[in-house]
């Protein structure tokens, strides 16, 4: 009798737990759909889609070592000194950026015309740190998921790589910003799973390396979507979205662990202040110029070890 009673209690618990999880998931999906329908798109950044961060100019604009992002202490010059002697007296790094609205610069000020802020911030940080010129090219498509990046942007990347080779240059790194438009549609179709995302992303990385070269480092940054103020205080969506975004970012980490010359840049720790509205555009989902600068420096710091030649 006791065993039967215990079994019924356990069964009742699991039924309630499963039902509760389904209700919360459905509620979060409804909240996400509501926000998506109310969303008013912001324009892309104005200005050039490529540029060069000049080492001499960066040295004139600041006498301090580059800053570590997310409120951390400044990057001490002594931490870079062991790396710098390995660099040639003259050099240039070429970085391509491929991605969605975070690459096209949605959220940047329309009063300026400097182009997308994220690629420029990464290039400027690396130029200061490595003391070389760093060129950047932004290849983006607003609202693109990984499939769209493969279909629409890989051909553009291929042409850019060929143009560099004709000038006697090569691509040192390709930064791929993706995932936002993949996991936000996860509730719409059974085909939009984390596993499907990993498969598509693996194919994208392979195609990028096919064009840019196997020695080119492909960088896959995590997205700080869990700090976007548009979701602040919306329960259960905020908690649910944070877990889903982390699951999609885990696929990037998995590929970086498995594939050669692929780097994963995780989100910074102790980044609670990153939720401050002063770092985000009015839509609450895209960073503003200052937010892009901070995030760009964080990504650049993760790229830095991969751009320093290993002594022979």
Position 230 confidence tier, pLDDT thresholds 50, 70, 90: confident
Q: d(Cα 96, Cα 235) in Å, to the nearest integer?
A: 38
Domain membership of residue 32 (yes or no) is: no
Comparing C-alpha atoms, which of 69, 68, 45, 66 is closest to residue 55? 66
Is the alpha carbon torsion for 193, 261, 67, 43 positive or negative? negative
305 Cβ contact partners less than 8 Å away, ≥ 6 residues apart: 83
Domain membership of residue 24 (yes or no) is: no
- Tell which phi-psi region holds residue 213, choosing left (phi > 0), alpha (psi between -120 and 50) or beta: left
The reported pTM is 0.83
Domain membership of residue 29 (yes or no) is: no
Query: 29 in helix, strand or coil?
Result: helix
Terminal C-alpha separation, the chain: 75
Of the ranges 4-8, 122-126, 187-191, the best mean pLDDT one:
122-126
Asked if residues 53 and 127 have their Cβ atoms less than 8 Å apart, the reply is: yes
Torsion of CA 71, 76, 82, 87, to 10 degrees: 70
Residue whose entry in the numeric block shows the structure tokens 């002063």: 278
**Which pLDDT belongs to residue 272?**
79
Question: Which segment of 15-29, 45-59, 60-74, 147-161 scores lowest on mean pLDDT?
Answer: 60-74
Distances (CA, A) of 143 to 50, 73, 100, 110: 20, 35, 6, 19
Position 82 confidence tier, pLDDT thresholds 50, 70, 90: very low
Express each pLDDT in 108-117 by its tens digit: 999 989 999 9
DSSP 289-303: HHHHHHHHHHHHHHH
**Which pLDDT belongs to residue 189?**
64
Q: d(Cα 203, Cα 281) in Å, to the nearest integer?
A: 32
Domain membership of residue 64 (yes or no) is: yes
- Counting residues of the chain whose pLDDT is more than 70, the rounded percentage is 72
pLDDT at 139 over 60: yes
- Domain of residue 297, residue span: 39-307
State the CB neighbour count (10 A cutoff) for residue 211. 18
Q: d(Cα 28, Cα 297) in Å, to the nearest integer?
A: 32
Domain membership of residue 8 (yes or no) is: no
**Which pLDDT belongs to residue 134?**
97
- Please state the domain count of the chain: 1
Express each pLDDT in 235-281 by its tens digit: 666 677 778 889 999 999 999 999 999 999 999 888 778 788 899 99
**Which pLDDT belongs to residue 254?**
98
Domain membership of residue 206 (yes or no) is: yes
Which CATH number goes with the domain that contains 122? 3.40.50.1110
**Which pLDDT belongs to residue 270?**
80
pLDDT at 75 over 90: no
**Which pLDDT belongs to residue 300?**
97
Domain membership of residue 195 (yes or no) is: yes
pLDDT at 133 over 90: yes
Domain membership of residue 85 (yes or no) is: yes
The more confident residue out of 99 and 237 is 99
């Amino acid at each position: 009798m006791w065993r039967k009673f215990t079994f019924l209690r356990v069964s009742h618990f699991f039924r309630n737990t499963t039902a509760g999880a389904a209700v919360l998931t459905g509620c979060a999906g409804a909240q996400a759909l509501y926000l998506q329908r109310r969303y008013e798109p912001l324009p892309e950044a104005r200005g050039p889609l490529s540029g060069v961060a000049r080492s001499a100019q960066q040295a004139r604009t600041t006498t301090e070592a580059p800053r570590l992002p997310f409120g951390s202490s400044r990057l001490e010059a002594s931490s870079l000194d062991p790396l710098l002697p390995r660099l040639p007296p003259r050099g240039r790094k070429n970085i391509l950026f491929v991605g969605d609205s975070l690459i096209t610069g949605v959220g940047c000020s329309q009063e300026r015309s400097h182009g997308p802020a994220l690629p420029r911030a990464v290039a400027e940080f690396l130029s200061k740190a490595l003391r070389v010129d760093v060129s950047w090219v932004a290849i983006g498509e607003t609202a693109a998921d990984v499939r769209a990046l493969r279909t629409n942007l890989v051909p553009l990347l291929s042409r850019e790589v060929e143009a560099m080779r004709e000038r006697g240059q090569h691509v040192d790194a390709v930064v791929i910003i993706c995932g936002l438009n993949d996991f936000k549609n996860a509730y719409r179709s059974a085909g939009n799973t984390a596993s499907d995302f990993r498969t598509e992303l693996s194919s994208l990385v392979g195609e990028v390396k096919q064009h840019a070269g196997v020695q080119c480092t492909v960088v896959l940054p995590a997205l700080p979507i869990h700090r976007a103020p548009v979701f602040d205080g919306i329960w259960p969506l905020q908690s649910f979205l944070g877990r889903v975004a982390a699951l999609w970012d885990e696929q990037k980490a998995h590929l970086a662990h498995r594939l050669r010359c692929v780097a994963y840049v995780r989100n910074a720790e102790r980044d609670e202040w990153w939720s401050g509205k002063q770092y985000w555009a009015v839509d609450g989902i895209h960073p503003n110029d200052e937010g892009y600068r901070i995030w760009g420096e964080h990504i650049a710091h993760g790229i830095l070890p991969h751009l320093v030649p290993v002594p022979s």
